[in-house]
Chains A and B, each alone.
Chain A
Amino acid sequence: MSMVFAPCLTETAAPTTHAEPAWSPYDNNGGTCVAIAGEDYCVIAADTRMSTGFSILTRNYSKIHQITEKSVLASSGFQADIRALQKNLDARHQIYQHQHNKQMSCPAMAQLLSNTLYYKRFFPYYAFNVLGGLDNEGRGCVYSYDAVGSYERSGYSSQGTGMQLIMPVLDNQLKSASPLVLPLQKSTTPLSEFEAVDLVKDTFASAAERDIYTGDAVEIVIINREGVRRELMDLKRD
């Protein structure tokens, strides 16, 4: 057995104590993500600012990644982990396509994402994800996650540094009946696509006022039966 002495340990110290580490494997690069599910569309949006500490690294970094024809992943948190997670899911989706000769459905991707995150339960991906898309019936679906894979399907969600500013606004504008009340009500919003996009723009403009990590621009992706389209709206750059 070999012995390696860490700088500040004495011979009699318990072997499990560590010296103060000089670096952290994690960083929070900030940003906010939102998704709203409609009858036959889904809106997924995220700001384009990437920060570290009190500095802005870049004003146009996309946090949105389209994994399949019908699912779009928006993630905020630690950018290196997010990029690795996106690549991981892309690779798994490629294998799925080879094996099944079709694309993964959004609910299937939702489960895969959860499993992928939990796989690293003891060294997590520091990624706060919102997955949006169309389910097998063509209805909008939104899944939101914590860093270790716990997830839930809902009608709308937000994650990231501006989450606490945006979620109450979405609750106020979009809240549907509780899923505990029977008969089960649809969780998708009755709003039109245009109204939902408008709401998303308003929420980001509000979040950018008070959250220092949210700003520069918001990238909005809309999936419906025609396909995928993108909009970009400028936000305050301070």
Chain B
Amino acid sequence: MGSVVRCDRYPYVTGSSVLGIKYKDGILLASDTAGCYGSTVRYKSVERLKRIGDNTILGASGEISDFQAITNLLDELITEDWMWDDGNKLGPFEIHNYLNRVMYNRRNKFDPLWNSLVLGGIKKGKKYLGMVSMIGVHFQDNHVATGFGNHLARPIFRDEWKEDMTLEEGVKLLEKCLLVLFYRDRSAINKFQMANVTEGGITITEPFALKVNWELEAFRNPTKGAEGSW
């Protein structure tokens, strides 16, 4: 009997949405810290935001083990870059390009890394925010989101994001979207992290919770305006 080639794979432990926005001084990324095993919230302290070098941050949704493999690859890339000691460092654009190639080439081999990645950074004053999916589709924009964030957060970004927001405005916007995701995405939990990259460096916050209000009028009678829906 010959061997059967696996062309299908399933994710096991997954992370939900990652959000990213550009603001005046740099980039902000946000995600929750849940690692779901199907419909069970198995892990509640998964770090889905990572620093890469000292001018880039990476967030991932999808299979957590694949994200860990990616961070290993990037660590090797950054180390090699550092060892050149040539006065130049890989910037967010270069790292995004590298990840695009990695994801696309894995897709070509029918063995994808099951992640949607958000990559943001700032180099020589130039801000960069991009996204790449598990099959290699990539782009850059002023605001990005993966998974459910595309449906729930992007419309809010399109309405409320503006050029050169302050850090407070940016954080407020992300917190609003994280809250919406917690209300509406069943694989989200009320435990979040935010990552901030500016010319001055990278900070990743300790996990925090947001104030939730289940007594909102809209939750009380959700089908009020649309009889027959649920």
Contact = CB atoms under 8 A, between A and B. Distances in A.
Interface of A: 1-7, 9, 15, 18-27, 29, 50, 52, 55-58, 60-61, 78-80, 83-84, 123
Contacts of A18: 7-8
Interface string B1-37: 1111111111000000000000000000000000000
A138 to B, nearest CB: 35
Contacts of A3: 1, 3-4
Contact of A80 (B114, B136, B154): B136
Interface string B99-117: 0100110011010101000
Given A23-B114, A27-B135, 18 more contacts: A1-B1, A1-B3, A3-B1, A4-B4, A4-B5, A15-B4, A22-B8, A23-B8, A23-B112, A50-B139, A58-B139, A58-B140, A58-B141, A61-B139, A80-B100, A80-B135, A83-B136, A84-B104
A52 B134 CA distance: 13
Interface residues of B, number: 31
Contact of B151 (A7, A55, A84): A55
Contact of B1 (A15, A60, A80): A15
Interface of B: 1-10, 100, 103-104, 107-108, 110, 112, 114, 131, 133-141, 150-151, 154
A6 B141 contact: no
B167 to A, nearest CB: 24
Q: Which of B3, B8, B150 has the most CB of A within 10 A?
A: B8
